[in-house]
Amino acid sequence: MIIQRKRYIAIGITVVLILLIPFIAMQLTNEVNWSLMDFIVAGGLLLTTGLVCEWVLRKVSSLFYRVIICLVILVLLLLVWAELAVGIFIQ
């Protein structure tokens, strides 16, 4: 139970650290312009991805399938992120 809680805390800290990158960039340049909604959506995507990968790690016993499923989840995250950022797929 304690290890599981530590993993959730690690996921949360990782999400915050990733979101600090655009936040700090906004302070240094005018080329990064995120609104509060951008941070909420990005945080939700990152948190959901982390929690789903954690769930996969707990439920899937085969190391090969764990890696493949988590890679697919990460690719989906990147595709959604790219679509929201610049509209690659829907014009």
- pLDDT tens string 26-77: 999 999 889 999 999 999 999 999 999 999 999 999 999 999 999 999 999 9
**What pLDDT sits at residue 24?**
96
Considering the entire predicted model, what is its pTM? 0.86
Question: What DSSP string runs through 7-53?
Answer: HHHHHHHHHHHHHHHHHHHHHH-SS----HHHHHHHHHHHHHHHHHH
- pLDDT tens string 43-52: 999 999 999 9
